[in-house]
Chains A and B, each alone.
Chain A
Amino acid sequence: MGTTTGNRCRIGVWTLFWCMVLCGACDPNRIGNKQFNRHVEASTVDSDYTFDTEEYILISTAINFPMYVNHDQAAFLRWGKARNVKTTILGPSDWDVAAQIAVIEQVIAAKPAGLLINGTDPGLAMAINKAVDAGIPTVVYDSDIPGSRRHAFLGTDWREIGRLQAEAMAKLIEGKGKVAYLGILGMTNMEEGYLGMKAVFDSYPDIEFVGRYDDKASVEEAARITSDLLRAHPDLAGICGFDAMSGPGIGLAIREAGQEGKVKVTTVDWEPEHLRLLKDGVVQHLVGQKRELFTWYGAQFLFDMAHGVNALSANDRKAGIVSIPYIVNTGLLEINASNIGQFLPGQ
């Protein structure tokens, strides 16, 4: 009997362990799932020049993530149509960096005309270097990958995102009061954002920073933390959100507490739910990336490199020269009450 109970205990512990490992595989910040989604968009537009044998591949993780679909992928597909080339989007449907690495390594053998890679994790460096070594033009977007030999990077400066949010917040709360940070703790870009924000707040002696909280990119978690913060600090002046779900979660809790406009909110991204919160006066300031520019110009760089446009020597590859920009900061956009009408026309 004792042995049976012991065995059952061991089975239970191992089941829990594997359950957590496998669940982690489907969690946005873990690795494991190997299910890939594939969208292929071939050229259909008539033009004097067609390069429809050329394939440009965008590789990301979480390729169903609405922000990626609506901005990054939409612009990439539009670029493919405009250029009459074949554009393919590959990657796992969940946030699965290991699967993204596997996809990069698999497509190298197919020798595509160019690879456009969402820089989701520093762990991509080895795979990117393999692609570069194979002679494939390779561009990284969104976050740069230290240690990789990518040909170009297009993205935004997350310190700038933090700085712009903090400056807007300081103005909204007239330079005094308690403020809190919500985002994903430990993510490189958001840590940069935090540093940018903190540097601004440090220059305001009357602004008290109450803490950083991990909303795990979940609306429910962001709402729970915000409601707890509102109880813990009835005099809370403002909250800065740093991931896509921070704004909707903060907005939900502020609405339920009837604190719209009293507690100021700045956050990242400009998806429909963020714009609606701004229009309703729950959120006061949005700082967004120009994600369309990442993939449109990233793909264009690949094309230019593949076709030797702006060649700087008789043979740039042999000369060890890359004739596209090394780093491009696509800049940011700010949305507030003064220009929301341009983003929600007719509403």
Chain B
Amino acid sequence: MNINRLLQQREIAIALSIAVVCIVASIAWPSVFPTFGNLSQLFLNISIETIVACGMMILLISGAFDLSVGSVVALSGGIAAYLLYNHGMYPLPAILAGVGAAALIGLINGYLVAYVGINPMIQTLAMMGIVRGAAMMISGSGIQNLHADFTVLGQSRFLGFQSPVWIMMAVVLVLHVLMSKHVLFRQYYYIGSNEQAAILSGIRVKRLKMHSFVLISLLAGIAGVLLAARMGAALGTSGRGMELRVITAAILGGASLLGGTGKVFGALLGTIFMGLVSNVLIIARVSGYWQDIVLGIILIVAVWLDLALKKQSVKSLKKVVGKR
């Protein structure tokens, strides 16, 4: 496999970029950057978004996306906190209620997109507003003083990493294996590559599409409960803007808006890269004004390089076919 073909896999390219940034930062700031404390904090900062980004990656592979995830994060945490604080419910049923509500939103999104035929962007954009309003109503000015039995879910530590990091690792691992090995999940690649062909080959496209929306909302629900547990409070404004950040991470990690490409592990790489860039910019004392500019430029360069490499690949293929 030559270097061009290797770089065409966006996961490899982003992993190399992460390695380069880490090496440069370690040389430039040896006492600050390459420390376990910085690493564990970096992973904690990206953990909750990565859980959602994994779901977004699967959705993008199938050729859709969901803009309501940030609002779902706020709603699920709000419902769990509301039941815990106002009704004295035990943590487990409160968490299940929060995550269950999130899954229900995914079911509605999925049904309306897959079976009714509403455009995913319109459907999830509308749902984003509805769910955000509901989250604001439930959380009010914030539900505080959540019980330690609940906050332990987001605040406990194991081997130096806080619990959301371990949960993120588990989610990435399970979904990566499922998307790589399991026939049912592999079908998302067919749907994203050519939906019509997938239908003709007997894949139950509508049902699978609906499941992908349920899955991402479920993951956003888990992320919302984790965020509330980490903060010890549920805020109606939680998760605001998360939808675009996770889409950006998934695209950096190898997804395409056209569908059919990407790996769950790539979503993790995308969030690591974004977190790393922010981390390094602050260590380098770069003004806050520059952070969004740098991230925007990186996204454009990554997608542009991807397109350039793909074009080169198509040219090479045509040459080979021409010779034969």
State the A residues within 8 Å of B (CB): 8-9, 11-13, 15-16, 18-20, 22-23, 26-28, 33, 35, 64-67, 69-70, 93-94, 185, 210-214, 216-221, 223-225, 227-232, 234, 245, 248, 252, 256-257, 271-273, 276
State whether A185 and B289 are in contact (beta carbons under 8 Å apart), knowing that A20-B244, A248-B235 are contacts in the complex: yes
Are A211 and B44 interface neighbours, CB within 8 A? no
Are B129 and A19 interface neighbours, CB within 8 A? no
Q: How far is the CA of A33 from the CA of B239 in the complex (A)?
A: 19
Q: Which of B93-101, B106-114, B278-286 contacts A (4 or more CB under 8 A)?
A: B278-286
Q: Among A220, A221, A231, point to the contact of B279 (Cβ < 8 A).
A: A231
Write out the residue numbers on chain A whose beta carbons fall within 8 Å of the beta carbon of B129.
Answer: 26, 33, 35, 93-94
B88 within 8 A of A: no
State whether A271 and B141 are in contact (beta carbons under 8 Å apart), knowing that A26-B125, A26-B128 are contacts in the complex: yes
Q: Among B141, B241, B258, point to the contact of A12 (Cβ < 8 A).
A: B258
Are A272 and B141 interface neighbours, CB within 8 A? yes
A263 to chain B, nearest CB (A): 14
Write out the residue numbers on chain B whose beta carbons fall within 8 Å of the beta carbon of A272.
Answer: 141-142, 144
Write out the residue numbers on chain A whose beta carbons fall within 8 Å of the beta carbon of B244.
Answer: 20, 23
Are B287 and A64 interface neighbours, CB within 8 A? no
B293 to chain A, nearest CB (A): 11
B interface residues, tally (CB under 8 Å): 57
B67 within 8 A of A: yes
Are A211 and B240 interface neighbours, CB within 8 A? no
State whether A64 and B45 are in contact (beta carbons under 8 Å apart), knowing that A231-B35, A248-B233 are contacts in the complex: no
Complex A-B: 18 CB contacts under 8 Å? A9-B307, A11-B258, A15-B121, A16-B257, A22-B125, A26-B129, A64-B136, A65-B136, A218-B241, A228-B278, A228-B279, A231-B38, A231-B282, A231-B283, A248-B233, A256-B162, A272-B144, A273-B144
Are A219 and B237 interface neighbours, CB within 8 A? yes
Q: How far is the CA of A26 from the CA of B279 in the complex (A)?
A: 28
A266 to chain B, nearest CB (A): 18
Are B241 and A93 interface neighbours, CB within 8 A? no
- For the complex with contacts A13-B257, A23-B125, A212-B289, 10 further pairs of A-B residues with Cβ separation under 8 Å are A15-B121, A20-B244, A23-B128, A211-B285, A220-B242, A223-B45, A227-B44, A229-B282, A248-B235, A276-B145
B17 within 8 A of A: no
B231 within 8 A of A: yes
Q: Among B125, B233, B278, point to the contact of A273 (Cβ < 8 A).
A: B233
A184 to chain B, nearest CB (A): 10
Closest residue of chain A to B231 (Cβ to Cβ) is A252
Interface of A is mostly: helix
Which B residues, 121 to 147, have Cβ-Cβ distances below 8 Å to chain A?
Answer: 121, 125, 128-129, 132-133, 136-137, 139-142, 144-145
B62 within 8 A of A: no
Q: How far is the CA of A221 from the CA of B37 in the complex (A)?
A: 19
B288 within 8 A of A: yes
Write out the residue numbers on chain B whose beta carbons fall within 8 Å of the beta carbon of A252.
Answer: 230-231
Q: What 4 A-B pairs have minimum CB-CB distances, sorted nearest first?
A: A66-B141, A213-B288, A12-B257, A228-B282
Q: Among A19, A35, A185, A231, point to the contact of B37 (Cβ < 8 A).
A: A231
Write out the residue numbers on chain A whose beta carbons fall within 8 Å of the beta carbon of B44.
Answer: 227, 256
Q: How far is the CA of A227 from the CA of B231 in the complex (A)?
A: 14
- Interface 0/1 of B239-265, CB less than 8 Å to A: 111111001000000001110000000
Q: How far is the CA of A94 from the CA of B128 in the complex (A)?
A: 11
Which B residues, 35 to 50, have Cβ-Cβ distances below 8 Å to chain A?
Answer: 35, 37-38, 41, 44-45, 48-49
Q: How far is the CA of A232 from the CA of B29 in the complex (A)?
A: 9
Write out the residue numbers on chain A whose beta carbons fall within 8 Å of the beta carbon of B132.
Answer: 26, 93-94
State whether A232 and B144 are in contact (beta carbons under 8 Å apart), knowing that A64-B136, A227-B45 are contacts in the complex: no
